[in-house]
Amino acid sequence: MTRSYLIALLLLISTIVACSSVRVSQDYNLAKPLPVLKSYRWLTAQQTTTGDVRVDNPLLNERIRRAIDRVLQEKGYQAEPTGRGDFQVAYQYSISRTLRYDDVSGTVGFGVGTYGRHGGVAVGTGHHVSQYDEGLLVIDLTDNQGNLLWRGQGTRYLPRHPKPEKTEKIYNELVEKILAQFPPGK
């Protein structure tokens, strides 16, 4: 393997690794403590149609809902499909095209020809720009009057053509990392 091939491979691997992590955040009213919550229900049966065929996918809706139900129940919250519940759950999902831009880098190369007759020096500068799809999942927890109690969101790099098993893993990880922040302070 040539040195330049190895450097290009390492750059590609570092870009993929950097893009694949889930980034999360949360928001809630700091001045108003959350009420005691024990049970929940879904606000709607399905996410609102977005016009994006990648998002408006019934299989994706089922995966996200199943993951949210599983994580909330693991945290001790009871699903109330026919009752009111203490809070309501809704989510929004979108996919956007994102650019990644790495800062300018420089390289210097030296070379010597046969028997030391020829030599050369090369100087290169440049930057790396790549495009990728990024999924944004926002999970809202509201009281029964529709007031927002807590919002968690996460973004993640999305592969272009994943197999169903990979898709399942991606959305489970995204939901788990978002809801790991709920309830706040725990």
Q: Is 2 contained in some domain?
A: no
What average pLDDT is seen over the chain? 84
Tell me: the pLDDT tens digits for 27-51? 999 988 899 999 999 998 878 899 9
Q: Is 12 contained in some domain?
A: no
- How crowded is residue 134: how many other Cβ atoms within 10 Å of its Cβ? 16
Q: Do 131 and 3 contact (CB within 8 A), yes or no?
A: no
Q: Is 3 contained in some domain?
A: no
pLDDT-derived band at 166 (thresholds 50, 70, 90) equals very high
Q: How far is CA 19 from CA 6, 12, 134, 152, in A?
A: 20, 11, 9, 20
Q: Is 75 contained in some domain?
A: yes
Q: Is 110 contained in some domain?
A: yes
pLDDT-derived band at 129 (thresholds 50, 70, 90) equals confident
Q: What is the pLDDT of residue 81?
A: 80
Question: Model-level pTM?
Answer: 0.75
Q: Is 109 contained in some domain?
A: yes
Tell me: the pLDDT tens digits for 104-125? 666 666 667 666 667 676 666 6
* DSSP string computed for 124-137: EEEEEEEEEEEEEE
Q: What is the pLDDT of residue 136?
A: 97
End-to-end Cα spacing for the chain: 49
Identity of residue 164:
P
Q: What is the pLDDT of residue 101?
A: 64
Determine the structural domain holding residue 41 and report its residue range: 18-179
Indicate the range of 40-49, 143-152, 165-174 predicted with least confidence. Answer: 40-49
pLDDT-derived band at 83 (thresholds 50, 70, 90) equals confident
Q: Is 170 contained in some domain?
A: yes
- How crowded is residue 3: how many other Cβ atoms within 10 Å of its Cβ? 8
- How crowded is residue 138: how many other Cβ atoms within 10 Å of its Cβ? 15
- Count how many domains the chain has: 1
Residues near 136 by beta carbon (within 8 Å), at least 6 away in sequence: 93, 94, 95, 96, 153, 154, 155
Residues near 153 by beta carbon (within 8 Å), at least 6 away in sequence: 24, 25, 26, 136, 137, 138, 139, 178
151-158 average pLDDT score: 96
Q: Is 184 contained in some domain?
A: no
CATH number, residue 127: 3.30.160.670
Residues near 166 by beta carbon (within 8 Å), at least 6 away in sequence: 159
Q: List, in sequence order, every beta strand (DSSP E) within 113-163.
A: 119-142, 148-158
Q: What is the pLDDT of residue 131?
A: 82
Q: What is the pLDDT of residue 132?
A: 83
